[in-house]
Structure 1
Amino acid sequence: MEVSIDTILLTLIIGCLVMIIAKNKSVPSPESPKKAKLSQRQGKIKSQYNSHDVFRIVITGGPCAGKTTGINKLASELSNSIKVLVVPEASTLLVKGGAINNFVGLDNNAQVEFQASLMQLQMALEDAFTEIASSFNEKSLVICDRGVMDGSAYISSDLWQALLDERGWTAVHLRDRRYEAVVHLVSAANGAEKYYSLCNNVARYEGIKEAQIVDSNLQKAWVGHSHLTIIDNESTKSFEHKINNLLNHVLWYIGASASLVNTRKYLLKHPQSIPNVDEVQVVKIYIEDIFLKGKSSEISKIQRRGQSGSFFYTHSTKKKLDDDEYSVNKCQITAREYIVLGNNKDVSRKTVKRLRQCFIYKNQYFMLNTYLNVKGGISILRVENLKDMESVEIPLGLSILRDVTEDPGYSTYIISKINWYVSSKDKDIIFDQ
């Protein structure tokens, strides 16, 4: 008997809902499997995976942004070199099942209940796919068609906070612990209006103005994540170019290529500078890095990162392979493991404390790191982009002193030295204002 895709998806939904009900409406853990390995790339870094490596990436964006095409492209292009699993979009499954058409006319209680049910289904699907990927004992990529933070774009900030409070969820758990990277594809309603259509998705109901608002809100939903990319329409030559940009960013994120994305770091003239631009949402993240004792050929550190009293923890090891190549292994750890590992701290280095201010300006994601326990304080702006960095517009109010991308003196590892100080050529400019 031939079974349709819709039947399979409906069965999957029922299975997930049964799992939820069986837990007696308990809060599903937003935490990923604690032994899931992650991988960061910077410069000429090769990936080094063990048998249980799972990399989870969200592909999100406003209505008519190219998500479906992009996800299909990723699956077809990457499946020959890595195991690829695609988590279906939970909201589309619910709409196809007749759960809802749109939010128009729903009262506050109904909006919160629907979003909570949607997020529970999304997390159940993601966790199931992640567990399956972990069982393959090979390098795996789990592509999530939207992520749970997307829900914040469809209800008011007050209702969103009420939802989080009632379920015991936090932005750190939902945004940072569940996904290793996020790519936002900008809606055709912003910059490619003539291509905007409602015809190719039964769950789409927004007009152009509404789509623009949703797209902006979806971007803001993910501000604060360490690996967020925004791919717009103005900087791409065609839709095909846009989808290729998506592919290139994902290749870079999973370590398949180290040269596709341009990463730059800029030293600012004024410590703790913040963007002074209207309608820029700034999310403040607090970070602590502790470097551990170990072999001379590797750098091992633990990190605590979070906001509003909620944190998550990672352990990473960087090993030198050749003259210009390194491998980096990174995994999430528990708070207790963080404390135990901290007992092996390298006493020749201080705990590096940073305030990271994350924001979006003209479809570009910026992270402004201010080192708090450095005398006088220094601020370094980090930006990643496929484009030529000369075309990236720095927000007004941020005064750049110089590019320090290739200056090892401004790496967190070097800054952690007990006797580290700002170079003399920068010190007079930064601190004598």
Structure 2
Amino acid sequence: MPHRNGPVLLGEQKENVSTSTENLKGEQIGMGEEGFKNSSQGLKNGHSNNKGPEIENHYKNGISEEESGCLKEHNNGNLTNWDKTSSSFPCDDPAIIAKLSDFALYTNGLTDNNFDESEVSRPKKIYRVVLTGGPCGGKTTGQARLCTFFENMGWKVFRVPEAATVLLSGGIKFSELTPDQALQFQEELVRTMMQIERSFFRLAETVNRDVLIICDRGAMDASAYIPRDVWEGILARNGWNEVDLRDARYNHIIHMVSAANGAEPFYSTDDHTCRTEGLSLAKDVDTKCAQAWVGHPYFDVIDNSTDFETKLCRMIQAVCQKLGIDAKDRLQNNSKKMKFLVKGPLPGDEVFPKGSQDFTVVHDYLQTSTPKMQVRLRKRGQKGHWSYAYTVRHPELQGQVVEVRTPLTQRDYNNMLSQKEHNHFTVYKDRRAFLLNDQYFQLDCYKDPCHPRCTGLIFLETYTTLSSAELEIRLPKFLHIVREVTGDPRYSMFNLSLKEGWQNNKHFCQSLAGSDSEESLDDISNTENRLILC
């Protein structure tokens, strides 16, 4: 590997960079509190000057694209012997000049003599997953199995206890609470839960390896036990919003369906001192808990369509798939993404399941070094609140195409927009997420401005372990589903967003596997013309 004699670029991570005054451990450049998890590499033991703490204060918030560009233009990417007073420096902003001056001093010394390539390592991952669901769904057992599985792979695993169990085991009984006391308890429960989680989240930042944080229920679960107007009052009093609590706080939500819903003979409250729900109440709680999380971008429902052992394997596989971990040799029933073309107009809101959530979604594709990899930014909003994500779609490997999504701060999102791929339109969608027949669906409607081929397009997507025939039974009957288009390059967002026509377009992606479609480009171009005419 060549030596690093230039700036540390946006998205990279430094670990244990030694200075003469202190060791600066685990700080990450320009990517918020946790850092940008998908960066390519880290730096170790490559610093020799003595201004560590002072310079750290200058650059810990990140070197922007503008600043990085100025460095490269001024000195061809080489920070050594940089003179901030040079009249040839292509920027007159004194704040940028001051920051880059100190940053240059900090990185001066990363030469062949003191850079140890054996100590280069990828940034660690911190993955926050919520196990939720009604009583007797397998959450406790699932936690233990998930913990063992990832510890065996070398991960550090933290298990956040269920806050409700902690409080209820202290002598609180719902039957003894007045209505006002019960509502106050729910608000205090959420506060307690978030504080306990925060302790584990912060501790994970200090660990020098990959960390999986398993939360026994999450902040949105409280909304399943109280009226909607009361929940909105709690949000308002505490300055919270659902986009932050549901979408931004956790990477992945897994709903373990209660045995009361589909495995009734196995439902029991005997092994849980705080569980008193009867079968009917348990089924109702299970449904409300699932509805509370509708809208999260990574939401998996693990139902009771299989035996319990297979159910646990499906849960672990769902986590592995989102992390891009190949566990097919140890787990079965691999979940796959299914996509269906829907014909409009859509029916009225009243026919959609209760608890459906609507979002505005904006996608931008970014420049990549290989056409076989797709990278995009996503901004998703609801009621004026937004969450941001960076997604890398890797080429097919061992029969599967893996998408890895990383949460971003608004600042990082805005910085990365400068890497936008100009061969693509920005994609605007209205998205409706809903839960039906224990299956989580997302309905995407393309919006203007867009290429004429996208006008009026509607797609239904879901992740499932079911066969096509089994899934067909669960599809919403109130939608006019034309056909399945999973894997069809003519209906991929990447190709639909191309600015130029598809025929003879070198950017058109047949598949991430690199194989040719059975259809010729003429056929594909004809399909494009039909889409435009629809």
Q: Say whether the fold is shared (TM-score over 0.5).
A: yes
- CA shift, 1:277, in A, is 4.0
> What amino acid sits opposite 1:268 in the alignment?
V
- CA shift, 1:315, in A, is 2.6
**1:121 correspondence with 2:192:** yes
Going from structure 1 to structure 2, the CA distance change for 1:429 and 1:311 (only over 3 Å counts) comes to closer
Structure 2 CA distance for aligned equivalents of residues 336 and 280 of structure 1: 35
- CA shift, 1:304, in A, is 0.7
Going from structure 1 to structure 2, the CA distance change for 1:79 and 1:347 (only over 3 Å counts) comes to same
Aligned match for 2:437, one of 362, 374, 382:
362
Deviating more after overlay: 136-145 vs 154-163: 136-145
**1:74 correspondence with 2:153:** no
- CA shift, 1:72, in A, is 1.1
Structure 1 CA distance for aligned equivalents of residues 271 and 439 of structure 2: 28
Structure 1 CA distance for aligned equivalents of residues 317 and 418 of structure 2: 40
> What amino acid sits opposite 1:418 in the alignment?
K
Unaligned runs of 5+ in 1: 1-31, 40-48
Cα pair 2:317 2:327 within 8 Å, conserved: no
What is the number of equivalent residue pairs in this alignment? Answer: 388
Going from structure 1 to structure 2, the CA distance change for 1:183 and 1:162 (only over 3 Å counts) comes to same
Going from structure 1 to structure 2, the CA distance change for 1:191 and 1:177 (only over 3 Å counts) comes to same
- What is the percentage of aligned positions where both structures have the same residue? 34
Could you report, residue by residue, the CA deviation over 1:168-224 in whole angstroms, capped at 9, with x for unpaired residues? 111110011111111111112222223222221122122222111111100100100
Aligned match for 2:376, one of 279, 301, 321:
301
Task: Tell me the residue number matched to 2:311.
Answer: 242
Cα pair 2:324 2:403 within 8 Å, conserved: no
- CA shift, 1:106, in A, is 2.8
Unaligned runs of 5+ in 2: 1-31, 40-120, 329-333, 503-523
Task: Tell me the residue number matched to 2:64.
Answer: none
Going from structure 1 to structure 2, the CA distance change for 1:50 and 1:156 (only over 3 Å counts) comes to farther
Higher relative contact order (CA 8 A, sep 6+): 1
- Rg larger in structure: 2
**1:340 correspondence with 2:415:** yes
> What amino acid sits opposite 2:138 in the alignment?
G
Q: Which has the higher strand share?
A: 1
Could you report, residue by residue, the CA deviation over 1:138-185 in whole angstroms, capped at 9, with x for unpaired residues? 222111111111001110111011111111111110011111111111
> What amino acid sits opposite 2:308 in the alignment?
F
Going from structure 1 to structure 2, the CA distance change for 1:321 and 1:257 (only over 3 Å counts) comes to closer
Could you report, residue by residue, the CA deviation over 1:326-349 in whole angstroms, capped at 9, with x for unpaired residues? 775543222233223323433322
> What amino acid sits opposite 2:367 in the alignment?
K
Task: Tell me the residue number matched to 2:27.
Answer: none
Task: Tell me the residue number matched to 1:201.
Answer: 272
Task: Tell me the residue number matched to 1:20.
Answer: none
- CA shift, 1:80, in A, is 0.6
Cα pair 1:263 1:382 within 8 Å, conserved: yes
Aligned match for 1:133, one of 177, 185, 204:
204
Could you report, residue by residue, the CA deviation over 1:216-272 in whole angstroms, capped at 9, with x for unpaired residues? 100100100111111222x11x22232222222222222223761121111112265
Task: Tell me the residue number matched to 2:230.
Answer: 159
Structure 1 CA distance for aligned equivalents of residues 462 and 248 of structure 2: 22
Aligned match for 2:492, one of 390, 411, 422:
411
Task: Tell me the residue number matched to 1:371.
Answer: 446
1:261-410 matches, cutoff 5 A: 261-270=335-344, 277=351, 279-297=353-371, 298-318=373-393, 330-373=405-448, 374=450, 375=452, 376-392=455-471, 393-410=474-491
